[in-house]
Amino acid sequence: MKNTHHDIPPALAQALRQARRVVVFTGAGVSAESGIATFRDALTGLWSRFDAQALATPEAFAADPDIVWGWYEWRRAQVLRAAPNAAHRAIADLARHVPELAVITQNVDDLHERAGSPCVTHLHGSLHAPRCSRCASPQAFAVDVPDEPEAGRRITPPACTACGAPVRPGVVWFGESLPAQAWNDALRAAQGCDLLFSIGTSSLVYPAAELPRLALAGGATVVQVNPAATPLDAQAHHNLRGAAADVMPCLLASAGFGEDS
């Protein structure tokens, strides 16, 4: 079933009102609506001489930590300038209206938290949680990035306060496993929910893309919010075409979950 955001099915609004355990699973499209370039988009412009495999692997960091750290500081500066959009705020608002809400994201920014979502599971790590590349101890940024570093600029990563090794970004790189605790939390939420929203994700990146299918297998209603078709279209109960910042507030309103309700 395909619907536009101007046509929220009454059955979906009722399902949201009756839901006890809701999962919101988000991807890069939600952050893109706040002006944050997706991973692939960010490799255009002055970064276009690189490819993802040259910037987002443990091997790349070992070979040239300065260029990899510079790339991620450029991305972090972009995130720090961005603000949560209406989709982030609507997702945070859901927590006031459903008994149990789990927010699971593939995004490495903190826009869900800044919008007010209290407990967010980050499947791909976070730009804001650096750690040591050798001993894995959590680290803190000495200073925030007030201005966006020049694209392509090399920046030497700081030294670990525990062992002196270079600090690495706290994200999941190609070839690395998802954080075990985050993945287990996501599996438990997806398998036990009665309503799952898949928002702004291509449903192509595994194992994260398994989550909507696990929810379906458990009998949950699955709703996809995305401007374009994805492999999940044929399985989702509802496909809402459009920007999440438009669709999600409309959906909450249709369920009677206004900001003042």
Domain boundaries along the sequence of the chain? 1-34+84-124+177-261, 37-81+126-171
Residue 19: what residue type? A
Catalytic residue among 5, 124, 128, 238: 124
Is 124 an active-site residue?
A: yes
pTM of the full predicted structure? 0.92
* Residue 77 marked as a ligand binder: no
Greatest CA separation for the chain = 58
pLDDT of residue 101 exceeding 50: yes
Tell me how far CA of residue 197 lies from CA of 94, 181, 216, 239, in angstroms: 12, 21, 11, 10
Q: What is the pLDDT of residue 147?
A: 66
Residues in contact with 60: Cβ distance below 8 Å, sequence separation at least 6, in sequence order: 53, 54, 68, 173
* Residue 121 marked as a ligand binder: no
The residue-averaged pLDDT of 10-36 equals 96
- Greater model confidence, 163 or 1: 163
* Residue 244 marked as a ligand binder: yes
Q: What are 120-174's pLDDT values in tens digits?
A: 999 999 999 999 999 999 999 977 665 666 767 889 999 999 999 999 999 999 9
Domain 1-34+84-124+177-261 fold: Rossmann fold (3.40.50)
Architecture of the CATH domain 37-81+126-171: 2-Layer Sandwich (3.30)
Q: What is the pLDDT of residue 44?
A: 63
* Residue 107 marked as a ligand binder: yes
pLDDT of residue 104 exceeding 90: yes
Phi and psi angles of residue 132, each rounded to the nearest 5 degrees, phi first: -70, 140
d(CA 117, CA 91): 7
pLDDT of residue 88 exceeding 80: yes
